[in-house]
Amino acid sequence: MMNLSFHSIRHGRKCHPDNLKLRLWWEAGWYDMPVNTAHGPLIENYLNKAHTVMNQALNAHSRLLAVPVLLRYPKAMPADQLRIHNLVISRFVDFLNWELGLIELSHDPDMRYIWCREQDTSDKPHYHMVLLFNGHALQHLGALSAYIDGSDEAYSGDCLYHRLVRAWAWAIGWQLEEMKGLVNITTNSMTKDVCVFRLHSRQKAMIREFFFAISYLCKAHSKPIGQGVHCFDGSKR
């Protein structure tokens, strides 16, 4: 069963036709925050969750490192068992927390996150995730290449990006040598710089820019709503 295209949702409708508990949001502003409605309506329940996680993180730490990441399954992986649950996200979070615990830091990374599950034309779902870290503990993502510091082992480095790849590899049970393209970080098309956000609780303009970016995860389009699987969630604190 394919997800409902946003083109088939009547403009101005207040609730999602496949789940009436999900409220649709059509406007380009949500309270005092700009939101991205270029792909159709957003789900207000998801906006509320994203806003709560962001505010809790900013209340806990004056500085944040925020990393948007796209997690994919390998093409060679059978799709049969990928439709029924999201345990892979719990596994990813657990292993990443274990990885973070190995770093000698003067501050707790205190990772928080939001995620969404999407599936459009592919036979497999994919996940968008935004990871929020204490900016006093972590400031950089590190190299995106598989081999660094002269190592001949893929993704064996100590940088944050390599830890993300190892966590996803463990979550899906895949070999590190075959992980290229499965953990994607957006880069600026002109500068090729990695798109991460360094937030400060007093920099309201940057916070608004960040919320606009993460509101993309809240869109109704391409989510398998009404198909018996959870499509959006975030950390509980």
pLDDT confidence of residue 217 = 98
Task: Compute the distance between CA of residue 32 and CA of residue 44 in angstroms, rounded to an integer.
Answer: 14
pLDDT confidence of residue 173 = 96
Residue pair 161/141 in contact by the 8 Å Cβ criterion: yes
pLDDT confidence of residue 189 = 63
pLDDT confidence of residue 193 = 78
Q: What is the pLDDT of residues 159-218, one digit of tens each?
A: 999 999 999 999 999 999 999 999 999 876 667 778 899 999 999 999 999 999 999 999
Alpha helices in 11-134 (DSSP H): 44-60, 87-101
pLDDT confidence of residue 149 = 83
The answer to whether the Cα torsion of 196, 200, 206, 207 is positive or negative is: positive
pLDDT confidence of residue 2 = 45
For the segment 2-9, the average pLDDT, to the nearest whole number, is 54
pLDDT confidence of residue 102 = 97
| Phi-psi domain of 31 (left: phi exceeds 0; alpha: psi -120 through 50; beta: other) | left
* Residue 154: pLDDT over 70: yes
Q: What is the DSSP letter of 219?
A: B
For the segment 134-161, the average pLDDT, to the nearest whole number, is 94
Q: What is the pLDDT of residues 57-86, one digit of tens each?
A: 999 999 999 999 999 999 999 988 776 789
- Any idea which of 7-11, 58-62, 227-231 has the lowest mean pLDDT? 7-11
In this predicted model, which residue has the larger pLDDT, 2 or 27?
27
8 band by pLDDT with thresholds 50, 70 and 90: low
Task: Compute the distance between CA of residue 201 and CA of residue 207 in angstroms, rounded to an integer.
Answer: 8
Domain residue spans in the chain?
A: 42-234
* Residue 1: pLDDT over 50: no
DSSP bridge partners of 33: 30
pLDDT confidence of residue 50 = 99
Q: What is the pLDDT of residues 12-54, one digit of tens each?
A: 789 999 999 999 999 999 999 999 999 999 999 999 999 999 9
